Amino acid sequence: MFTPRRTTVSKFLIEQLKNSPDGQALAALLIDVTAAIKAISAVATKGALEGNVGSLTTTNVQGEVQKPLDVLTHEIMLHHNEWSGLIAGMASEELEQPYDIPAEYQRGRYLLMFDPLDGSSNIDFNVAVGTIFSVLDHGKDSVPAEADYLQPGRRQVAAGYAIYGPATVMVLTVGQGAHGFTLDREIGNFILTHPNLRVPEETDQFAINASNERFWEPPMQRYVEECKAGKSGPRERDFNMRWIASMVADVHRILIRGGVFSYPRDEKNKNGRLRLMYEANPMALLIEQAGGAASTGRGRLLDEQPQALHQRVPVVLGSKSEVERIEQYHREFDAGTDKPFVSPLFNERSLFRKEARA
């Protein structure tokens, strides 16, 4: 039952941003994003009842086959935010170019980027999916060029995600910690339920797609092999592996319970798999705000300078000690001082090792 003492997302944002320049406008923008997330939650939970399973014959800019909900959630995000007068432009995973605000609407100073439905390949199986968003300050209300979006992640003024599972939970930051809100469907509002989330510095869990192991660089192979060796290996403790194949779900678990998530570069994805601007950067900001770390494996993720709107990047994020260990293994490998990794199955097939030692 709702009580007046419970903090809604609107009250929370007003309080957090009351002393920030243009804080009222940013709060209003995030409230609009929240409204879009509530609408997406409503359609996502209906699944096959509304014909939202299966695949379409169309693909997005990355060449990925679209699901009906990919298109619908994209439209929901656009239409809940284009009219507010708070946004100069938007960019989405589903569009090759940035979205221009229609001429009949006033422009604002912010740029909104989003992945409207992360993990959409899981829709048919009723596995948790989500929405990821990032907000940048354009600084003016003029029409932005694509180059205006290409800001490093450390310049984000807000970021967050929603996960649509047994409950709809939204986690966001405006640079003052990471905070979680649960949708109370009876009153139609998000209520603060997870204030000041903190990622434990130490962990015994890791999330990675192990089916790609033969394609990884040796530093990542070394790290995972050590984790799998458990108590009898160099780490001297047992690890559990988790992999949901939905970045939102995997990162949400890390924010709640700790762990490290990685989608590294490999022989198939030499620039990484995840998109920097609207997947990696917002998640990296949330993790850092919760006391964790986020890296490409060779440097801080939020310092990465974007070169293209849909640029891909290697991602390692989560508990700080594990991220630092993975970075150390990459440094040692690049310097040629790493501990040799020998796999009886893939030793002769590692393209990365041959190139690095040539």
Please state the domain count of the chain: 2
The verdict on residue 3 lying in a domain is no
Q: Are residues 339 and 244 in the same domain?
A: yes
Enclosing domain of residue 37 = 9-194
* Distances 258 to 8, 166, 198, 289 between C-alpha atoms, Å: 26, 20, 8, 14
Residue with tokens 């409503």: 42
Residue at 56 is within a domain: yes
Q: Is residue 2 part of a domain?
A: no
**Which residue, 194, 213, 229, sits at the end of a domain?**
194
Give the pLDDT score at 126. 80
Same-domain pairing of 289 and 335: yes
Do residue 170 and residue 288 come from a single domain?
A: no
Residue 200 domain flag: no
* Statement to judge: residues 34 and 174 lie in one domain: yes
Whole-prediction pTM value?
0.90
Judge whether 136 and 107 are in contact, CB under 8 Å. Answer: no
Domain identity same for 173 and 250: no
350 and 268 share one domain: yes
- Read off the pLDDT of residues 58-110 as tens digits, 9 standing for 90 and up: 666 666 667 788 899 999 999 999 999 999 999 999 999 999 999 999 999 99
- Asked if 307 and 188 sit in the same domain, the reply is no
pLDDT cut 70: percent of the chain above it: 88
| 235 and 186 both lie in a single domain | no
Residues 264 and 187 in one domain: no
Most confident of 46-50, 58-62, 322-326: 322-326
Q: Write the pLDDT tens digit of every residue in 131-163.
A: 999 999 999 888 999 999 999 999 999 999 999
Residues β-bridged to residue 206: 241, 260
Closest CA to 294 of 249, 263, 334, 332: 263
Among 73, 159, 175, residue whose Cα is nearest residue 110: 159
Looking at the predicted structure, is the pLDDT value of residue 345 above 80? no
Is 25 among the domain residues?
yes
Structure confidence at residue 54 (pLDDT): 54
Mean pLDDT of 111-116: 98
Q: Is the pLDDT of residue 55 over 90?
A: no
Predicted pLDDT at 49: 54
Does any domain span residue 309? Answer: yes
Give pLDDT, residue 73: 94
Q: Give the pLDDT score at 122.
A: 77
Out of 13-22, 116-125, 161-170, pick the least confident: 116-125
Looking at the predicted structure, is the pLDDT value of residue 349 above 50?
A: no
Judged against a pLDDT cut of 90, whether residue 189 lies above it is answered with: yes
In CATH, what number is assigned to the domain containing residue 257? 3.40.190.80
Average pLDDT over residues 190-209: 95
Inside any domain, residue 244: yes
pLDDT, tens only, 207-251: 999 999 999 999 999 999 999 999 999 999 999 999 998 999 999
- 322 and 176: one domain? no
Domain boundary among 194, 221, 249: 194
- 303 with 253, same domain: the answer is yes
Q: Is 80 exceeded by the pLDDT of residue 4?
A: no
Q: Kindly report the average pLDDT of the chain as a whole number.
A: 90
Q: Of 194, 214, 240, which residue is a domain's last? A: 194
The reported pLDDT for the residue numbered 357 is 44
Do residues 247 and 119 lie in contact, with contact meaning Cβ atoms separated by under 8 Å? yes
Structural domain includes residue 340: yes
**Do 190 and 223 have their domain in common?**
no
